[in-house]
Structure 1
Amino acid sequence: MKIIQAYKQANTSWYYFQKKILLKNPLVLVFGNRYLLEQSEVIEEIRNEFPYTDLVFGSTSGEIIGCSVYDQSISVTVIEFEKAHFVIERENIFNFNKNATKLGQTLYNKIPKQGLKHLFVLSEGSFVNGDSLITGLETNGDLKTSITGGMCGDDARFEKTIASYKENPKEGEVILIGFYGESLEVSYASFGGWIPFGPERIITKSQDNILYEIDGQPALDLYKKYLGDKSNELPQASLLYPLNVTPKGKKEAVVRTILNINTADQSMILAGDVPENARVQLMMASVDGIAQGAQIAARLAMNQRAAPPQLALLVSCIGRKLVMNQRVEEELEQVQEIIGDTTAMAGFYSYGEMAPFNGSTSCELHNQTMTLTLISE
């Protein structure tokens, strides 16, 4: 596997982390600030600098290369496989009347199955229901084929996200990358580091990812009581106080970020499903707790690997970045300490992360986690 990484900020030259060479039929991952990716001249510059066919674009809430986090930038990771290969398919949620389950089914059906080792998803992050997308991908799938990925970001603006394969980035795109080959070893993990607090309550009214009532009370009204003075800073403040949701009949809880609020009906719109009768608690975090969570994710991903990873794809949540602020790179340093400094690290800060729970192959949508996909051949 050969990997070339580079980044640039507006009105600057490209900075390369390795010697610039041309690679053969590589996968090119382009993560960047949404405002930059909306500029046709920026996209043209990227195509000229990286004259390859398989370019995948995604907007972010911060770009990751190595142990550095960049804002207002474009990061590029170019990957040439020695023996393995990949297939990329795309669909747009607007062609499915925003039905993410049908989109997921269609995408999975388009991907060749023979020799399929792993699926990586890069999804629109503003209004695609990540839970429904995963359901669609797994409906007719072989659960032995692992799925990881993330939802695109837009800094902390939550205005819109964009992505694409080959074309110029646009709204509504969902890209699925299939990795193939016996030579591939893929491992993954996801962990948060957030701490539940306050009483555990029951979701009494919800629909998909819209939360209306907790313990029979208007959800937003109850949430504001917990936040106190910080409720004046909603919805941004909700990134610092997500919900810990344990669906009925399940042992594992998922964290749910609040994307928006509706004062008219006192509801909250979350980044994933919040089923009725699920148990729910508020959560909070410390910088040290988040950094430790990233290290735990790395340890889980490295557990029982046969070979050291050559590439680490990191998807971490915008909420973690906001909490850590100037110390955000500490969680990347914690990851590198575990996976080794010879592993190329690339990724982005997201509106949602996708990975199975530890010990499972069934994918879940997470919020507020560090999610790793480790690849070698």
Structure 2
Amino acid sequence: MRIVQASKVANQPWKFVQENTVLNNPLVLVFANRFLLEQDEVIADIRAQFPYEHLVFGSTSGEIIQNQVHDGSIVVTAIEFEKSSFEIVTENILNFDKKAKPLGEALYNKIPKANLKHLFVISEGSMVNGSSLIDGLEKELTNSVSITGGMCGDDARFLKTLASYKENPKEGEVVLIGFYGETLEISFASFGGWIPFGPERKITRSKSNILFEIDDQPALDLYKNYLGDKASELPQASLLYPLNVTPEGKSEPVVRTILNIHDDNNSMLLAGDVPVNSRVQLMMASVDGIAAGAQRAAEIAMEQRNSPPQLALLVSCIGRKLVMNQRVEEEIEQVQEIIGKQTAITGFYSYGEMAPFHGQTACELHNQTMTLTLISE
């Protein structure tokens, strides 16, 4: 595997991490601020600097390269696989009446299956229900194939996100990357570091990822009571106080971020499904707790590896970034300390992270986690 990485802030020259050598048919991951991806001259600059076929774009809530976190920038990672291969397919949620499950099914049907080892998802983040997308992807999936990835971001604006493959970035796009090859070693993990607090309650009315009632009370009213003065800062304030949701019949909870609120019917739109009869609690976090969570994620991802990772794809949540503020790079540094400085690191801050729970194969949508995908060949 040969890797070339570079970053660029608007109107500044490109900064390369490795020597800028010509690669053979690489996978090129471009993570950037949404405003930059909307500018034709920026896209032309990226294409001129990386004149390759397989460019994948995704908008972010912060860009990760090596042990640094950037804002308002472009980070590019070009990966030449020497012993393995990749395939990329896309679909657009606007062609599926905004229904994510049939979109996921269509994506999985399009991807070649022979020798498929792993799937990595870069999804539109403001219209797609991540839980439903995973359900669609996994409908016909075999246990030998794992899924990780993330939902694109738009800083803390939650207005729109962009993604694409080959084409210029656009709204509604979901990109699926398949990795193939016997020599590939791919490991992954997801961990939060947030702490539940307050009484545990029950979700009594919901529909998919829309939460209406908790303990037969309007969910938004109850949530505003908890937030107190911070309620006037919704929905951004909810990134600091997500929900810990344990679906009925499951032992592992998932964290759910509130993407938007609707005062007209006292409901909340969440990043993933919140089934009726799920147990729910509020959560909070400290900077040290989040950094420790990132370290734990890296430890889990490294546990069963036979060889050091050459590439680390990091997807961390916008809520973690807001809590850590000026100390946000500490969680990336914790990861790098565990996986090793020889590993090329890239990724983005997201509206949702995708990975199985530790020791399981079925993928889950997470919020407020650090999710790693470690790759070597």
2:202 equivalent in structure 1: 202
What CA deviation, in whole Å up to 9, does each residue of 1:1-56 have, x standing for no partner? Answer: 00110010111111101111110000000000000000111101110110000000
Residue 225 of structure 1 aligns to a residue whose secondary structure is helix
Report which stretch shifted further, 211-220 or 139-148: 139-148
Could you list the runs of 5+ residues in structure 2 that have no partner in the other structure?
none
Distance of 1:48 and 1:241 partners within structure 2 = 42
Off by >3 Å, runs of 4+ in structure 1: none
What CA deviation, in whole Å up to 9, does each residue of 1:164-220 have, x standing for no partner? Answer: 000000000000000000010000000000000000000000000000000000000
1:61 equivalent in structure 2: 61
1:21 equivalent in structure 2: 21
2:92 equivalent in structure 1: 92
What CA deviation, in whole Å up to 9, does each residue of 1:234-256 have, x standing for no partner? Answer: 11100000000000000000000
Distance of 2:320 and 2:164 partners within structure 1 = 26
* Residues 1-377 of structure 1: pairs in structure 2 closer than 5 A: 1-377=1-377
1:348 Cα deviation after fit: 0.2
Residue 237 of structure 1 aligns to a residue whose secondary structure is helix
1:306 Cα deviation after fit: 0.4
Distance of 1:296 and 1:36 partners within structure 2 = 33
Q: Which amino acid aligns with 1:45?
A: D
Q: Which amino acid aligns with 2:309?
A: P
Using the size of structure 2 for normalisation, the TM-score is 1.00
Distance of 1:11 and 1:346 partners within structure 2 = 22
Distance of 1:116 and 1:269 partners within structure 2 = 34
Residue 133 of structure 2 aligns to a residue whose secondary structure is helix
> What is the number of residues matched between the two proteins?
377
Q: Which amino acid aligns with 1:143?
A: N
Q: Which amino acid aligns with 2:115?
A: G
Residue 76 of structure 1 aligns to a residue whose secondary structure is strand
1:66 Cα deviation after fit: 0.6
Distance of 1:210 and 1:343 partners within structure 2 = 39
1:99 Cα deviation after fit: 1.2
Residue 118 of structure 2 aligns to a residue whose secondary structure is strand
Residue 309 of structure 2 aligns to a residue whose secondary structure is coil
Q: Which amino acid aligns with 2:28?
A: V
Identity of aligned residues (%): 75
What CA deviation, in whole Å up to 9, does each residue of 1:95-133 have, x standing for no partner? Answer: 111111111001001111111010000000001000000
Distance of 1:263 and 1:93 partners within structure 2 = 26
1:143 Cα deviation after fit: 2.4
1:301 Cα deviation after fit: 0.3
Distance of 1:311 and 1:18 partners within structure 2 = 13
Q: Which amino acid aligns with 1:341?
A: K
Using the size of structure 1 for normalisation, the TM-score is 1.00
Q: Which amino acid aligns with 1:12?
A: Q
Q: Which amino acid aligns with 1:256?
A: R
Q: Which amino acid aligns with 1:135?
A: D
What CA deviation, in whole Å up to 9, does each residue of 1:126-178 have, x standing for no partner? Answer: 01000000000000111220000000000000000000000000000000000
Q: CA RMSD in A?
A: 0.5
Distance of 1:300 and 1:16 partners within structure 2 = 30
Q: Which amino acid aligns with 2:350?
A: S
